[in-house]
Amino acid sequence: MATSKASKVKLDPARIPAHIAIIMDGNGRWAKRRFFPRVAGHKQGMQNVKTITKAASRLGVKVLTLYAFSTENWKRPGSEVNYLMRLPVDFFNDFMPDLIKENVKVEVMGELDDLPPQTRQASEKAMADTANNTGMILNFALNYGGRDELVHAAQKLAKQVQEGELSPDDIDDRHFANELMTGFLGDLADPDLLIRTS
C-alpha cells in the first residue's frame, strides 16, 4: 500500500561514494515533454542542483562534480547559450548563503577565460567566497571538454620535458593525473559514481 509520505531510507555511511559526478543532460527534453520552453528545463535543473548539493553534503560526500556546460554546448542556439551562461550567475547569487552554511567549497574547472565576463566573475567570486570552507567540494565543469583537458595535460608535460624539468621516461599516470583539471583533488580526483541524467 502506498503512503503519501516518503519513507526514510537508511544509508550506510561507509558506503557513501566519496566522489559523485553528474553529467547534467536532458533538461531540454524534460521541458519539451511538458510543453515548456527548453530554458524552463535548465531552470528546473538549477533547482535540482541546489537540492542535490545539500543532500550530498549532508550525506558526507566529499566531492560533487557537475558537468554543467561542455565545450560542445556552444553549438546550441544563441538564446539558449546566453541563458545557460546566466545560470551560474543566478545560482551563485541565490545559493551562496546555503553554500556557506553547508560549509561547501566551490571549484570551477574548464576554460574559464572563454566564458562571458559576468559568468567568469561569478564563478571566480564563488570560489573566493568559499575558499576557506572545509566541507564538500562542489566542482562545476563549465566550458569543459574531456579531449581539451587531455590535450592541455599533454602540453603541460611536454613543456616540463622541454624545459628539462621532467624526463619523458619518468612520465607515469601520477604525473598525468596531476596535470588534469581534477589534479587538485588528489586521491578524490576519480569519481566513484557517475550519473548521467536524461
Residues 57, 136: contact at Cβ < 8 Å?
yes
Active-site residues, by number, are 25, 73
Identify whether the C-beta of residue 62 lies closer than 8 Å to the C-beta of residue 136.
yes
The rounded distance, in Å, linking the Cα atoms of 195 and 156 is 30
How many Cα atoms are found within 13 Å in the side-chain-facing hemisphere of 9?
6
d(CA 56, CA 138): 10
Q: What is the C-alpha to C-alpha distance for residues 187 and 127, in angstroms, rounded to an integer?
A: 21
* The three cell numbers locating residue 176: 598525468
d(CA 81, CA 168): 41
